[in-house]
Each structure stands twice: as C-alpha cells, then as structure tokens.
A = this chain, B = another copy of it.
C-alpha cells in the first residue's frame, strides 16, 4: 500500500470577467479560452445600452462602471475590458471603482504594434469607433511607445458586421472609401483593429489594404489583449498544476434579449452559447 499523496488545498481558480457593450468582446473571450484554460469566465454584454461608440464620455463611464462593479461583486478576481470605447473613455473610472486588476484593450494593441514595427517613429493606422477616435487614447498609447498613430473613425463597420455582411460587396465598398481616405493621411507599417467587431472582417480589411497598395501588417487587438491577460495571469497559482486543471468554463450575462445574445454571441464566439442570464443594470 503506497502512502497517500500529501493533500494540498487546491489554489483558487481564476475567475475572469470580460466586459463589452455587446458581442464584440466575445472575440477577446474566444482568444482567452485556450490561453487560460484553468479559468472560469463571466462575460457581460451591456446589450440594452449598446452601442457605446457614438456616446459621450460621461454616459460611457457610467455604464462601464456599473458593469465592472457587477463583475467584481460576482467574484471575478481579474477584469478584461474587451471594449475599445469603454477602455478609451472609462478605464481610469473603472480602475477607481473596483479593487481587482483591470486590463483594457488599448495598451496591449499598441504594444503589439510596437513589436511589429521595431524601428522608432513607425506609423500606425488605427481603425475605431467615433468615440474611441475622439478620445485619442490610441494616439496617446502609441506616442508613449515612440509610434505615430493616425486614428480613423469607421462608424458603418459595426452595423455591417451586425447585419452579417462580413463578406459582402457593400462592406468592401465602405472599406475602400474609409481606407482610401485614411491612406491619404499616412503610410502605415501596421493597421490596428481598434474595435472588437473588426476581427470578423479582418480578411476584407487586409484585401482592401493590398488592393490600395499598402503592405501594412494587420494587428488584432483581441489577440493582443488575450496574450497580455495570459502573461498577467501567469502569476495565479492554479496555472502551476496543469494536470488537475478543469477545462475552461464560461457563463454569459446580457442586459437585453437573451435569445438575441445566444444567436449573435454564437456567431462572434464561434461556438454555441446555450444559456444566457438576463441582467438589469441602471433600472
């Protein structure tokens, strides 16, 4: 009879909150699931009040803080703001409102651009919503790394993705209009997708750039953010015991229709979402 293995208390499993105004943040969750499989994920889409992209700083901060508090109260010990607009306009407010670590999408995106363009003074084109552009959060984050950012608002891309026109002549026409204008203003080495909806039309964006003669490398901030969160969570003990790790699990909350969230969310997450909790915020 062998001696029993010494029993150690299992380290706490990380609970990662992922927040977005709607469905786009599910592209960040999709990138996170295989990277931090030991975690439990709680995703919150503030779908009753989306989109944030055309609203004011005060309104966005109020909505984002309410959402972040819900996730912290729910037991999350790490929070990913998987929404460019909320990161750009409310990251400081969110960090003041909760005591857990909070990661936004903008700094990881800018750092990924920096790795792509090793020489100093490189040019980055940032495609984003109107509110993100007006905040100049990407310009600030890029400047801190010695990069020049040109920020271009693309308000029609979110509705086109949500219409499901991810591979459609109208989407290519709209991209051509936006990118032609953008390329008169800069000659970028990297193009940063500054909205979590845009990874779904990454192919169309890349093809349009090539057709306009640009060789810029496309950077997906969802991937960059997932990598940054993985690096930060490397310090959480449960990742040291891979053989006892449970598979990643997630649950979803939405402030509007759970049926629509299941349908649209499954499209963004690229796996079925069978159950969604309804949540009232600001009611």
Contact = CB atoms under 8 A, between A and B. Distances in A.
Contacts of A58: 257
Contact of A160 (B156, B169, B283): B156
Contacts of A48: 49, 55-56, 59
Interface in A161-201: 162-163, 169-170, 173-174, 177
Contact of A257 (B59, B158, B159, B163): B59
Interface residues of A, number: 27
A28 to B, nearest CB: 22
A155 interface: yes
A182 to B, nearest CB: 16
Interface string A123-167: 000000000000000000000000000000001101110110000
Contacts of A283: 62, 282
A167 to B, nearest CB: 14
A260 interface: yes
A20 interface: no
A282 B49 CA distance: 11
Interface string A253-272: 00111001000000000000
Contact of A155 (B56, B59, B155, B163): B163
Given A62-B283, A170-B174, A173-B173, A256 B156 contact: no
Nearest to A157: B159
Nearest to A282: B282
From A159, A160, A169, A257, residue with most partner B Cβ within 10 Å: A159
Contacts of A158: 159
5 contacts: A55-B257, A58-B257, A155-B162, A156-B170, A282-B282
The 6 closest A-B pairs by CB, nearest first: A56-B257, A159-B159, A48-B59, A282-B282, A59-B256, A55-B256
